[in-house]
Amino acid sequence: MTGNVIEVNNLEHSYGSIKAVDNISFTVKQGEIFSFLGPNGAGKSTVINILTTLKKIQRGEARVNGYDVAKESDSVRRSIGIVFQMLCIDHEMTVSENLEYHGKIYSMSKKERKERINELLKLTDLESKRDTLVKNLSGGMKRRLELARGLMTKPAVLFLDEPTVGFDIQTRMRMWEYLREIKREGTTIFLTTHYMEEADQLSDRISIIDHGKIIVTGNSDELKNKLGKDLIYLETSDNKLAAEVLKSLSSVKSITEDTKSLRVMINEDVTHVLPQIMEIIRREGIEIIIVNIKKPSMDDVFVHYTGHGLREGDEIEKEKEVELEVVSK
Amino acid sequence: MNFEFRAIYWREMVKFFRFKSVLFTSLVQPIMWLAFFGLAMSDSFDQLTSLIPNVSGVPVVNYFSYMGAGIIAMDVLFSSLFGGTTLMFDKKFSLLRETLASPVPRFHIILGIGLSAVTKAFIQTFIIIGFGKLLGMDFFNGYTLTQTLFSIVGIMLLVATFTLGFLFLSGSIAITIENPEGMQSILTLLSMPIFFISSALYPINSFPSILRFLSMFNPLTLLANGIRYFALGTDFSVMGIHYIYTTADIGFCFLGLTIFALAMLSTALWRFNKVDI
């Protein structure tokens, strides 16, 4: 093996005439957390379903843990753990019974199951809930149990499809802690998310995916630095003119302008550039209403590369769904 | 390596004993059938047929015993026919996902559930036989211990094959149909002809010939006749009708039920391999 746990080449997948995954290639390295960041319906779940052999591969090639997804699905299945997007755990069984069942269907021996269940309950802080029926657990606990279940067979790679969707921020942050711990223990993690922060905080590398295509891949700092070192947010009495004037400065990397504001990306140390910029704008007789300096965030990265925010993406998705309904009728 | 069906079986049984209401009803249901329906029907049948002279020279069996075999068959029919519903809920609540995403072959999933249904059917069968004997059913009368054991094993084999067949059938429907109401109405519709065009409750001798012909291939008839062969003997009379069961008859019961179960198994496999997540 080349140190890549997942290798995907020219993957394509269509539902009828709609291309959900459009010629995607990427690799995930041993031991890293790799994220697919994109709006709902960008094709993230389709990729996960193909990699976990739940969907037949239509075109292209994918290997997981060295096994061909198309031809060696059983070996792939034995190499992976999955946490599905939707909660799917038996509410009428206890915490340990759920793990026990999982170990059994993967033919683990009784001794292995017992040891692993103890380890995992400790890892996910569910030891005190061992004999509690799942229906009496909180949402966060259920998710942690699913995490434990995904790890039951000591998989080479753990797939998580939107692992924290619908959770409050505390629960989400706790979940991230667990995922970091799992990574420290050497498990490779592939996750999809539409939360900027999740991708940003958690991942070693991120692929931004939109309309079935990977738009850019890199670690969080790389992606942000590509945009510029710092970002100045300006609201002025004449944004258009201000943009015009600032464009010529060598320290300015790019300017994004909308009706209300200017986002000026700076290549150099902003503390020196800002006074200069304000001076120039004032000299043109433009009034500055608001100034704000910040480091580029994942949101800015996303907007920069996809040309729209995630919210906008959702609306596009809705249109798509409407289209789909029309097609299916 | 190839015993994953045991995991499925284990899960089904854990849940069977956990849901006290399900457990309770499935144990009480056969008793109710016997106690209320059985006694009421047999008394009126015996009264109606009291004037018919018995066939001389053969052991006479009361209608209650005749019908006891039918009640076993019927009880097992209903519980296995509705037994597949669990699959529909597992699919609906995405519980099936975990198992479908695992390396477990789909055949094992159906087999595991099938075997759990067989276990439940055995429990019900024993309850009916035990309780029936208390109420005066003529099962295994005059049998030696070996004969009784042999007959019980025979009945269990018949019940197992029959249960698997109907569970595979109901599993196929469950995995295809999305909504519980649809499932319910299909099963009810299906159970009507199976139930009435059979020898479970009454002799088929006086059926119109077309119904009589159909009933010969009805799995419920095959099961009820098979149980009678083992429990009541090869030669007896009920309500003035002389019954003689030959080895060919019981062979036909086993053969028919096996063919039925295999056909339903292939249907279930076909439906299961179509399940997408």
3 state SS for chain B: CCCCHHHHHHHHHHHHHHCHHHHHHHHHHHHHHHHHHHHHHHHHHHHHCCCCCCCCCCCECCHHHHHHHHHHHHHHHHHHHHHCHHHHHHHHCCHHHHHHCCCCCHHHHHHHHHHHHHHHHHHHHHHHHHHHHHCCCCCCCCCCHHHHHHHHHHHHHHHHHHHHHHHHHHHHHHHHCCCHHHHHHHHHHHHHHHHHCCCCCCCCCCCCHHHHHHHHCCHHHHHHHHHHHHHHCCEEEECCEEEECCHHHHHHHHHHHHHHHHHHHHHHHHHHHCCCC
pLDDT (0 to 100) of residue A1:
45
Taking the Cβ of residue A107 and every Cβ of chain B, the question of whether any pair is shorter than 8 Å is answered with yes
Q: For residues A255 and A241, what is the distance between their CA atoms, to the nearest angstrom?
A: 12
Contact B93 A88 (CB under 8 A): yes
For residue A319, name the pLDDT band (cuts at 50, 70, 90).
very low
Q: For residues B111 and B106, what is the distance between their CA atoms, to the nearest angstrom?
A: 9
Contact B11 A101 (CB under 8 A): yes
Task: Please answer whether residues B138 and B62 qualify as being in contact, where contact means their C-beta atoms are separated by less than 8 angstroms.
Answer: yes
Task: Please answer whether residues A270 and A230 qualify as being in contact, where contact means their C-beta atoms are separated by less than 8 angstroms.
Answer: yes
pLDDT (0 to 100) of residue B277:
64
Contact A105 B18 (CB under 8 A): no
Q: Mutual orientation of helices A220-227 and A298-306 as an angle, nearest 10°?
A: 60
Check for a shared fold between A4-223 and A229-295: no
Query: How would you classify the pairing of strands A262-266 and A252-257?
Result: antiparallel
Taking the Cβ of residue A102 and every Cβ of chain B, the question of whether any pair is shorter than 8 Å is answered with yes
Helices (H) and strands (E) in chain A, counts: 12, 14
Sheet order of strands, A4-15 included: A18-29, A4-15, A59-64, A67-68
Residue A321 has pLDDT above 60, yes or no: no
Residues on chain A touching B19 (C-beta within 8 angstroms): 92
DSSP state of A133: B
Q: Does domain A229-295 match CATH 3.30.70.920?
A: yes
The pTM of the full predicted model, rounded to 2 decimals, is 0.83
Residues on chain A touching B109 (C-beta within 8 angstroms): none
For residue A114, name the pLDDT band (cuts at 50, 70, 90).
very high
Spell out the residues 6+ positions from residue B157 whose beta carbon is closer than 8 angstroms to its own.
B254
Which residue from B276, A20, A52, A45 is spatially nearest to A11, judged by alpha carbons? A20
A285-315 pLDDT, tens digit per residue, is: 888 999 988 888 888 888 878 876 665 444 4
Residue type at B120 in one-letter notation:
K
Q: For residues B168 and B163, what is the distance between their CA atoms, to the nearest angstrom?
A: 8
When scoring B19, B89, B102, B273 by the number of chain A Cβ atoms within 10 A, the one with the most, hence best to mutate, is: B102
> Chain A: nearest CA to B82, how far in angstroms?
19
Which CATH fold topology does A4-223 show? Rossmann fold (3.40.50)
In chain A, % of residues over pLDDT 70: 93
Instruction: Give residue limits of the domains in chain A.
Output: 4-223, 229-295
Q: For residues A17 and A10, what is the distance between their CA atoms, to the nearest angstrom?
A: 18
A150-194 pLDDT, tens digit per residue, is: 999 999 999 999 998 888 888 889 889 999 999 998 899 999 998
pLDDT (0 to 100) of residue A310:
62
Residues on chain A touching B18 (C-beta within 8 angstroms): 92-93
Residue A297 is encoded by which pair of tokens? 């965030």
Contact B7 A77 (CB under 8 A): no
Q: For residues B169 and B114, what is the distance between their CA atoms, to the nearest angstrom?
A: 10
pLDDT (0 to 100) of residue B251:
93
Residue from the list A90, A104, A106 with its beta carbon closest to the beta carbon of B95: A90
Task: Please answer whether residues A302 and A208 qualify as being in contact, where contact means their C-beta atoms are separated by less than 8 angstroms.
Answer: yes
> Chain B: nearest CA to A89, how far in angstroms?
6
Average pLDDT, integer, range A72-82: 93
> Chain B: nearest CA to A90, how far in angstroms?
6
Q: Is the complex ipTM higher than 0.90?
A: no
Sheet order of strands, A205-210 included: A80-83, A157-161, A188-193, A33-37, A205-210, A213-218
Instruction: Give residue limits of the domains in chain B.
Output: 5-273
pLDDT (0 to 100) of residue A166:
80
Average pLDDT, integer, range A88-109: 94
Closest residue in A to B96 (Cα) is A88
**Successive 10-residue mean pLDDT values, chain B, 277 residues:** 85 90 85 84 78 75 87 91 87 86 91 94 92 88 90 96 96 89 90 88 83 90 93 83 86 95 95 81
Alpha-carbon separation of residue B201 from B72, B118, B190 (angstroms): 11, 22, 18
Spell out the residues 6+ positions from residue B116 whose beta carbon is closer than 8 angstroms to its own.
B8, B9, B12, B13, B16
Residue A110 has pLDDT above 50, yes or no: yes
User: Which position has the higher pLDDT, A255 or B117?
Assistant: B117
Q: For residues B64 and B45, what is the distance between their CA atoms, to the nearest angstrom?
A: 9
User: Which position has the higher pLDDT, B267 or A16?
Assistant: B267
